[in-house]
Homo-oligomer: A and B are copies of this chain.
């Protein structure tokens, strides 16, 4: 804020030591290096990097097989530009990191491999040869490996660490699968049974293994057992035993292994972060040149504390700062343990100041008059909430009715007016800053939804009245906003609020998880497109092409895949690939897909199932489970507000504190406490 300042520089050198500690290497802390480091971490540089990663990833939309085809030279040029940006960033990075470390970094390898691939592919295309852009699977790895993707890297690392244990359970699962298949072959192979297509049933060992693997995903239940069951109900027992052991028990064991490992490595990571923080605190203390008590912990005086807080968290209020000091210095000695201070700054304090309403300051006579105070009491009354809940219910019924009825479409204006009135009344009664505080999720939600619905409805009726034309897109948005408005009703029921709050709290982690799954989906989509593009074709509803009946592939003639009109489930472009992969995650409806290309599709399907369903979905489930277990254990000790509890925690040892808040304070907030 105040130009180059020696203390600014000192804080910056802590940044550098930060990076040093994380990588266990030592490099120079000269002003030049510090300047480079600060520039490297500038927000603009980071935004640019993310933008180019996004551009690089979305190139898949324009490359063959494309949603919007662009010539090869255009996509290649954009990709080169992206690579250039990454290289500049790397060159920047290389200046502060030793050579040998630099060349081992996976980012470099990705970039070099991509360049090699582009050259080979360009040369092949120029000579009209068949070429494969295999380096496209490396693109999402860049997303994982940029320094900013810490959470994502951590998730990948914990998967890698869990792999050995998963592998042993998987081997045992495969052993069980092979044994059951052998038994099925011996019991059913010689009975001359036929499948529904008239093919011999359970006569080929490898076919049986695959069928029973698919049965684990429950996708071909009960089809796979019907021929045997039709011949005798005794065989149903074989399949029931199989499902019990392989679907229920083994899949639960996979969940247990993944959950257990994820928790174990998360704990280990947090332990390392605590160690790193201590190291940094020691360095920061050396920079502040505070005195150290004899044989005791490093301490800091109140004057220095005030100066430091003003520097690192300028938005903190004086009162808040003094509250924190008084909490830390409870024995009133004028000095506190240095390591505690950062924890204190990390605590999110919700300032619940009873500030007077701006209208009260502007016009006290009116705001404090009897009718105004009656209004305030009414709005704060429980009945006000109940009335609005009833309005929401009536609104829900009206939304369900046919909107072409003029009464129904006009009622929309009434409801909009009522909702607006509610927000205005609340703004009249509550202090606006408190109403729109960072923690009032539902107030923000309400206001945004109602205002957007108002704008969209106005645009829609304006278009209707001017041109007599209704835009389907705007109407869709209006409908979505109307339905979303109804969600607010759950906030009125206390029990629901607890569940919803837990779900909102795990939101950020679900985003990390979303990145993880996008990386995996992207890799599978690239491979899938390369292997299966054009094998299944989609024809529009009004197409009269005779190939429409079998999705443009004669192998699919008469199959369930074509009959059920699944033709759009294909790998013909990156969007439909992603949607197909989601479908495969939910139910491995690969039957039709397998009919197209045999062995490669089966291997693809099994690998995808192992990677996504067995590993990633289980991590997700483990994650939701853990969040709710934490929620329920907090629920039980029904004491204290969030602030009180955190202050109480602070009085415990630091190690305990970190373990207790693992769920909430992400390690990033710890490391960025000086940011």
Contacts and interface: CB of A to CB of B under 8 A. Distances in A.
A566 B185 CA distance: 22
A259 interface: yes
Contacts of A171: 496
Nearest to A627: B256
Given A483-B183, A568-B226, A586-B243, A257 B168 contact: no
Contact of A589 (B168, B222, B260): B222
Contacts of A359: none
Contacts of A97: none
Number of copies of this chain that the complex holds: 2
Contacts of A386: none
Interface stretch (A16-24, A453-461, A616-624): A616-624
Contacts of A240: 579, 582
Interface centre among A259, A396, A586 (most CB of B within 10 A): A586
Nearest to A169: B499
A187 B476 contact: yes
A563 to B, nearest CB: 8
B222 A583 contact: yes
Contacts of A500: 172
A541 interface: yes
Contacts of A186: 399, 403, 479-480, 482-483
Contacts of A229: 568, 579
A67 B594 CA distance: 39
A309 to B, nearest CB: 39
A629 interface: yes
Contacts of A566: 222, 226
A183 B479 contact: yes
A503 B246 CA distance: 12
A221 interface: yes
B479 A187 contact: yes
A230 B582 contact: no
A489 B226 CA distance: 32
A454 to B, nearest CB: 18
Contact of A221 (B185, B482, B483, B583): B583
Interface in A179-218: 179, 182-183, 185-187, 196, 205, 218
Interface residues of A, number: 78
Nearest to A476: B187
A589 B221 CA distance: 8
Interface string A602-634: 000000000000000100110011001100100
A636 to B, nearest CB: 9
A578 to B, nearest CB: 9
A266 interface: no
Given A172-B499, A187-B480, A620-B248, A230 B541 contact: yes
A253 B259 CA distance: 15
A576 B621 contact: no
A243 B499 contact: no
Given A186-B483, A541-B231, A586 B399 contact: no
Contacts of A499: 168-169, 172, 253
A99 interface: no
Contacts of A662: none
A260 B624 contact: no
A175 interface: yes
Given A218-B586, A222-B589, A589-B222, A480 B621 contact: no
A233 B218 CA distance: 26
A542 to B, nearest CB: 11
B221 A260 contact: no
A486 interface: yes
Interface string A237-256: 00010010001110011011
A276 interface: no
Interface in A234-293: 236, 240, 243, 247-249, 252-253, 255-257, 259-260
A219 B587 CA distance: 8
Contact of A249 (B185, B236, B503): B503
Nearest to A173: B499
A362 interface: no
A628 B257 contact: yes
A486 B624 contact: no
Given A221-B587, A399-B182, A564 B196 contact: yes
Interface in A525-545: 538, 541
A621 B248 contact: yes
A564 B223 contact: yes
Nearest to A183: B483
Contacts of A620: 248, 252
B248 A617 contact: yes
B168 A226 contact: no
A109 interface: no
Contact of A185 (B400, B487, B579): B400
Nearest to A563: B196
A589 B243 CA distance: 16
A575 interface: yes
10 contacts: A172-B499, A175-B489, A175-B496, A179-B486, A186-B480, A226-B565, A229-B568, A233-B568, A253-B499, A253-B624
**For the complex of A and B, 8 pairs with smallest distance between CB atoms:** A256-B628, A252-B624, A186-B479, A183-B483, A168-B495, A222-B583, A236-B579, A218-B587
Interface of A: 168-169, 171-172, 175, 179, 182-183, 185-187, 196, 205, 218-219, 221-223, 226, 229-231, 233, 236, 240, 243, 247-249, 252-253, 255-257, 259-260, 396, 399-400, 403, 476, 479-480, 482-483, 486-487, 489-490, 495-496, 499-500, 503, 538, 541, 563-566, 568-569, 575-576, 579, 582-583, 586-587, 589, 617, 620-621, 624-625, 628-629, 632
Given A168-B495, A182-B399, A233-B579, 11 more contacts: A172-B499, A172-B500, A182-B400, A187-B476, A187-B480, A221-B583, A226-B566, A243-B582, A252-B624, A255-B621, A256-B628
